[in-house]
Amino acid sequence: MSRLVKVAIIGCGGIANGKHMPSLSKLKSVELVAFCDVLIERAEKAAIEYGIKNAKVYEDYRELLEDESIEVVHVLTPNDSHAEIAVAALDSGKHVMCEKPMAKTSEEARLMIEASKRSGKKLTIGYNNRFRPDSQYLHKVCERGDLGEVYFAKAHAIRRRAVPTWGVFLDEEKQGGGPLIDIGTHAIDLTLWMMNNYKPKTVMGSTYHKLGQKEDAANAWGPWDPEKFTVEDSAFGFITMENGATIVLEASWALNSLDIDEAKCSLSGTEGGADMKDGLRINGENFGKLYTTKVDLGAGGVAFYDGNSETDADLEARLWIDNILHDTEPVVRPEQAYVVTRIIEAIYESAKTGKAVSFDEQPIFVPNK
């Protein structure tokens, strides 16, 4: 019988209830033993719904970290506390899964990596879109070299009207930004992962706060309060990599556009291309003719069954716990997530100054491939 991994949750809000706790609770190798939230009633509710009998509840994460029996901590708090809590958890001897984005700033992300190396504990970031069936398939295509050298890509994170109006999403101080750092981060992560390219050279960016100023606006989650909408409503970036490759990023919570895609990428290589805009499509040239192949990711015609009962969040959780049990490398390495954070930071910086950010002048920590 395999051993049980004792996991604690810090931050029992929306992402904990919508993603982490349901997926972890499905794993027979996991015991959810402790829950912490600044609103103690949320921690108590989570303990009742997902915890083991006599699961512990905390209001202060520092007290939770004193429990030496806890092996893994999931940090699911607002962005401004990711680094503080993750570093403390790593230094206390816990492995850490931190929700995306890694941190508000690249310096905070660097501190997290240093704590992981110092403690010898694993650190990963919650980029669950890597675990979708289309993402997994496309990554294998890229790894095999079917697309050749990918020299142009688009990172898509466009919503027409879907501004999150709960929690601290609209609070720049807590979150560090709006759709760029919230959903744009997923699109950048996917794109860099597919390209296996983590060496940006220059970044140019623009951010806009246009539609967020409107009152009684149409929105998937009801109208927002313009006074509390302190982050951008859309952001765009132009990223040049050291090898000459180019990435165009688009991110919005609110944009007058019918071209809507979220957490997707389009890739153009020397041997072929791919995109996720209408399912997963691979394109190229054979025998002097162009072809487009739409990949069937389903069960091949089995009625009432799509062939995949495991969600992307479930797969993310299972593989992460397997990393702990078998001492293997996480799918999402913290050094990769650091580069995503640095690019986001550079887009915000460029938007404020009107100038391109060059990493020749501001060297970037780059992961080993």
Question: Residue 25 pLDDT more than 50?
Answer: yes
**Which CATH number among 3.40.309.10, 3.40.50.720, 3.10.129.10, 1.10.15.40 corresponds to the domain 5-127?**
3.40.50.720
Q: What is the pLDDT of residue 360?
A: 80
- Domain coordinates in residue numbering, the chain: 5-127, 130-315+334-358
Residues pairing with 72 in the sheet = 7, 95
Q: Which comes out higher in pLDDT, residue 208 or 308?
A: 208
Spatial separation of the C-alpha atoms in residues 228 and 166, rounded to whole Å? 11
Q: What is the pLDDT of residue 364?
A: 62
- For residue 261, pLDDT over 60 is answered with yes
The CATH number assigned to the domain with range 130-315+334-358 reads 3.30.360.10
Q: How many whole angstroms separate alpha carbon 26 and alpha carbon 36? A: 20
Return the pLDDT at 369.
46
Asked which of 204-218, 222-236, 287-301 is least confident by mean pLDDT, the reply is 287-301
Residues in the chain: 369
pTM: 0.94
Q: How high does pLDDT run on average in the chain?
A: 94
pLDDT at 367: 55
pLDDT at 366 over 60: no
- Cα separation, 296 vs 128, whole angstroms: 21
pLDDT tens, residue by residue, 311-344: 999 999 999 999 999 999 999 999 999 999 999 9
Tens digits of residue pLDDT in 262-309? 999 999 999 999 999 889 999 999 999 999 999 998 755 555 555 567
d(CA 200, CA 108): 19
Confidence band, pLDDT 50/70/90 cuts, at residue 126: very high
Instruction: Give me the percent of the chain exceeding a pLDDT of 90.
Output: 90
- The candidate with the shortest Cα–Cα distance to 257, out of 178, 351, 166, 159, is 159
